[in-house]
């Protein structure tokens, strides 16, 4: 069973929010199947085959592979939600992508050429560069989801911080060079601890 089971998300169906297990860069690095740096080329919502849900496909042009072996120079990230015609669906906790945006994404395979973001929005960093292009920072996406500490099962804040892109790459490499430790399987938090 995949290590992602340790990062299980708990959806508060009646609470209109999403609760996520908080992760750090080492956990993201060891859990993700593929990690890439790339640029968002396109993003398009579509209905599922049964017409019951909306999925947004985001195409990313890969510029650097930090883990795994993508099968092509582009990949597609699938996420729930989007707008098709007059119908919209929003899922709290999903990563947001903008065409032209440079990103570092931690991904799990969902088929030959399709992926999902590991740990939802926690698995996406935006790359911001100085005007001369010499300095680059990796900026984690702010999440409106409720985060739960995997050990204490108590509400916590994200430990993901803005850092130089080079430092993020160093942290990823260090995590991949470290043998993975046993994963603590979190228990389901109380359902009354959900966001409004």
pLDDT, one tens digit per residue, over 24-66 is 999 999 999 999 999 999 999 999 999 889 999 999 999 999 9
Nearest to 100 by CA among 60, 56, 40: 40
Q: Strands (DSSP E) along 97-175, which ranges?
A: 102-109, 114-117, 124-129, 136-140, 146-148, 155-156, 163-164
Inter-residue contact 37 to 63 (CB < 8 Å): yes
d(CA 139, CA 126): 5
Q: Tokens standing for 136? A: 């680059």
**Can you tell me which residue has the tokens 């892109």?**
165
Domains of the chain, with CATH numbers? 25-144+162-177 (2.40.50.120)
What are the pLDDT digits (tens) for 157-190? Answer: 999 999 999 999 999 999 999 876 544 443 333 3
């Amino acid at each position: 069973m995949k290590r992602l089971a340790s990062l299980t998300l708990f959806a508060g169906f009646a609470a209109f929010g999403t609760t996520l297990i908080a992760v750090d860069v080492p956990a993201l690095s060891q859990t993700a199947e593929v990690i890439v740096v790339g640029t968002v080329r396109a993003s398009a919502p579509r209905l599922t085959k049964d017409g019951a849900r909306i999925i947004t496909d985001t195409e990313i042009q890969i510029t650097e592979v930090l883990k795994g072996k993508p099968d092509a120079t582009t990949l597609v990230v699938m996420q729930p939600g989007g707008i098709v015609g007059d119908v919209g669906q929003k899922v709290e906790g999903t990563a947001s992508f903008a065409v032209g945006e440079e990103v570092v994404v931690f991904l799990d395979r969902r088929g030959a050429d399709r992926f999902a973001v590991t740990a939802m929005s926690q698995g996406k960093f935006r790359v911001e560069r100085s005007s001369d292009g010499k300095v680059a920072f990796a900026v984690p996406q702010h999440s409106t989801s409720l985060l739960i500490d995997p050990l204490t099962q108590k509400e916590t804040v994200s430990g993901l911080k803005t850092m130089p892109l080079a430092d993020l790459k160093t942290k990823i490499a260090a995590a991949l060079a470290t043998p993975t430790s046993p994963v603590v399987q979190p228990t389901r938090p109380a359902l009354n601890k959900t966001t409004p």
